[in-house]
Amino acid sequence: MSARQKPSLLGLVETYFQGHLRRVRGASQHTLRAYRDGLRLYFLFLAEHTGRSIAKLTIDDVRADTVLAFLDHLESRRGNSAATRNCRLAGLRTFAAHLLRHDLAHADQYRRILSIPSKKSRSRGVTYLEPEEVQSLLAQPDRTSKRGRRDLALLLFLYNTGARISEALGVQPNDLYLQRPRQVRLRGKGNTERICPLWPETAAALQAVLREPANSGTGPIFQTLRGATLSRDAVAHLIGKYVRGAALTMPSLQRRRVTPHVLRHSCAVGLLQSGVDVTVIRDYLGHASVATTNRYITTNMEMKRKVLDAFWRRSGLQPNSKRPWRPSPKLLAFLESL
In DSSP notation, 191-205 reads G-EEEEE--HHHHHH
Quote the distance between the C-alpha of residue 227 and its chain's center.
Answer: 26
Q: What is the pLDDT of residue 2?
A: 46
Confidence of residue 3 (pLDDT cuts 50, 70, 90): very low
Burial 76-101 (b: 16+ CB within 10 A, else e): eeeebeeeebbbbbebbbbbbebbbe
pLDDT tens digits, 114-126: 999 999 876 666 7
The whole-number average pLDDT for the span 31-57 is 93
Alpha carbon of 169 to those of 41, 110, 250: distances in Å? Answer: 27, 37, 28
Alpha carbon of 269 to those of 128, 156, 162, 252, 302: distances in Å? Answer: 7, 16, 10, 17, 10
Confidence of residue 258 (pLDDT cuts 50, 70, 90): very high
- The catalytic residue positions are 164, 189, 261, 264, 287, 296
Strand segments, DSSP code E, in 32-118 are: none
Whether the pLDDT of residue 309 is over 80: the answer is no
Q: What is the C-alpha separation between 156 and 150, in angstroms, rounded? A: 10
CATH code of domain 131-299: 1.10.443.10
Residue 236, classed as helix, strand or coil, is helix
The whole-number average pLDDT for the span 313-333 is 60
Residue 85 or residue 319, greater confidence: 85
Residues of the chain with CATH 1.10.443.10: 131-299
pLDDT tens digits, 104-115: 999 999 999 999
Whether the pLDDT of residue 316 is over 80: the answer is no
Residue type (1 letter), 320: N
Confidence of residue 274 (pLDDT cuts 50, 70, 90): confident
Q: What is the C-alpha separation between 320 and 313, in angstroms, rounded? A: 11
Residue 78 or residue 1, greater confidence: 78
| Percentage, residues of the chain above pLDDT 70 | 81
Please give the backbone phi and psi of residue 294, each rounded to the nearest 5 degrees, phi first.
-60, -20
Please give the backbone phi and psi of residue 97, each rounded to the nearest 5 degrees, phi first.
-65, -35
DSSP for 276-322, written as a single string: --HHHHHHHHT-SSHHHHTHHHHH-HHHHHHHHHHHHHHHT-S-S--
Q: What is the pLDDT of residue 1?
A: 44
Residues of the chain with CATH 1.10.150: 3-114
Q: What is the C-alpha separation between 216 and 210, in angstroms, rounded? A: 8
In degrees, rounded to 5, the angle at the alpha carbon of residue 39 between the alpha carbons of residues 33 and 41 is 100
pLDDT tens digits, 166-187: 999 999 999 999 998 899 999 8
Beta bridge partners of 314: none
Non-local CB neighbours of 39 within 8 Å, separated by 6+ positions:
13, 91, 92, 95
Number of H-type helices and E-type strands within the chain: 16, 3
Of the candidate ranges 12-16, 38-42, 221-225, 293-297, the one whose mean pLDDT is the lowest: 293-297
Q: What is the C-alpha separation between 183 and 108, in angstroms, rounded? A: 52
* Range 3-114: architecture per CATH: Orthogonal Bundle (1.10)
Q: What is the pLDDT of residue 277?
A: 80
Distance between start and end Cα atoms, the chain:
86
Residue 87: its H or E element: helix 82-102
Specify the pTM.
0.66
Per the prediction, the chain carries an average pLDDT of: 85
Residue type (1 letter), 3: A
- Return the DSSP state at 223: B
Q: What is the pLDDT of residue 106?
A: 93
pLDDT tens digits, 190-248: 678 889 999 999 999 999 999 987 666 678 999 998 888 899 999 999 999 999 999 99
